[in-house]
Amino acid sequence: MMKKPTIGVLALQGAVREHVRMIEGCGARGIMVKYPAELHLCQGLIIPGGESTAIGKLMQAHGFLDEIRSLVLAGMPLYGTCAGLIMMASRLVEGDQPLLGLMDITARRNAFGRQVDSFEADLSLRDVEEAERPFRAVFIRAPWIEEVGRHVRVMGEFEGRPVIARQDGMLVSAFHPELTGDERVHRYFLNMVEELSGG
């Protein structure tokens, strides 16, 4: 792995500390990003879960949308979990909120039901380390990917619906790997950072 990359976690809502802990457990440096200027300290960025409409409005109000778009288009890797997946989507099935619109996917919000319908499931993930070993995924008021563009690689499904996918330097998951002890998805993202930096 490259020399200790710095991975930012957007600190507006969600399991920010848990993502930082996972990143540091994988041997990288994790920082909480509260202001757009801090994005320039990062070699990669994670947008955690939360309430996507509120996150979208906060990102718009604090000037994150344009800054993140320009950095990702310039090559910075980006990973979105749950609400982060929704923020990165180009299209929503329902609702109207600010989006980054970076990834060629259509997202359905709250696809698996409300908070009380949260659940865990064993997934078969492609491309991650030890892919033959099931990944115990935590779904909390989760979206799913309704449609993918032709440059999007689906890496795993639940009940026939894509729940983790990659397009170029962008990764999304409908579930919360930061709430498990399994570092494989975070390690996959760090490998993306290494690949895309030429490290």
> Which residues are the active-site residues?
82, 176, 178
What is the per-residue burial (b if ≥16 Cβ within 10 Å, else e) of 115-141?
eeeeeeeebebeebeeeeeebebbbbb
Q: What is the DSSP letter of 198?
A: T
Secondary element (H or E) of residue 32: strand 29-33
Secondary element (H or E) of residue 195: helix 184-197
Closest C-alpha to 159, from 144, 171, 138:
144
